[in-house]
Amino acid sequence: MKKMTNFLPLVEQFHSLQGEGYHAGKSAFFVRLAGCKVGCSWCDTKYSWEEKKYPSVSIEKIIDHIKIAREKGASFCVITGGEPLQHNLDNFCKAIKKMTMGEEQNSMKIHIETSGVNSISGSFDWITLSPKRHSPPKNYFLKNCNEIKIIINEIEDIEFAIQIKKETLKQYQLSKSKKGLKKEDKIFYLQPAWNNKNGFSLAIDFVKNNPDWKLSLQTHKYLKIR
């Protein structure tokens, strides 16, 4: 069990547009936490792996920035990394909800992007699961995520995507929890790794022939925004 904490190692936080997945194109505030032990060779945020390189920032300070972004139009905050669930996010999520409760009692929505290798902590309005072939996710995330995003570099990633979808549907059927999302609510994405021509053609060909899947692109990289 990860220890409850009121401090988190912060790489960066910024207001931008969500570039990927179902919410692509929406105004969002990103909180990038440091620390990841998953070790993907193609990772585009390797700079975030080492937790000790970054300051430990109080959750209140982080939330002050979330509040400002919200006033300026951010419709949700995305907790990302690194692997954000390496940290216990219970206090952080509770504090976001409490400190952003407006007059209409609608607090800031919280999204998370995770590989699903750690246990869950915190509570989220949207879970993006990006499972990794060499380090498969916990069943909790297969059952409870809203979208699944598989990064495609090579043919083995397509095979992994097929297997993950099967496993997800099995977990859904096994799940006795009424709280879990309906299987038809889950969205399955293939996302070609940036700058990988093979990944792009594999993903496009697969999606063309498998309409249950959609293509996700890192639109923020085309737009040259963060």
CA atoms within 13 A of residue 48's CA, in its CB half-sphere: 23
Q: How far apart are CA 147 and CA 131, in angstroms?
A: 11
First to last CA, the chain: 33
Closest approach, Cβ 80 to ligand SF4, in A, equals: 8
Q: Which region among 31-39, 156-164, 170-178, 204-212 touches ligand SF4 (by CB under 6 A)?
A: 31-39
Nearer to ligand SF4, 40 or 161 (CB): 40
Question: At residue 20, what are phi and psi to the nearest 5 degrees?
Answer: -125, 160
- From candidates 31, 40, 145, 148, binder to ligand SF4 by CB under 6 A: 40
Tokens of 48: 């975030």
Q: Does 45 bind ligand SF4 (CB under 6 A)?
A: yes
CB of 129 to ligand SF4, least distance (A): 11
Q: Which residues pair with 98 in a beta bridge?
A: none
Min dist CB 83 to ligand SF4, Å, is 5
Segment contacting ligand SF4 by CB under 6 A, of 24-32, 34-42, 163-171, 217-225: 34-42
Cβ closer to ligand SF4: 132 or 143?
A: 132
> If binding is defined by CB under 6 A, does position 33 make contact with ligand SF4?
no
Phi, psi of 9 (to 5 degrees): -75, 115
Contact flag: residue 81 with ligand SF4 (CB under 6 A): yes
Number of Cβ within a 10 Å radius of residue 68 = 12
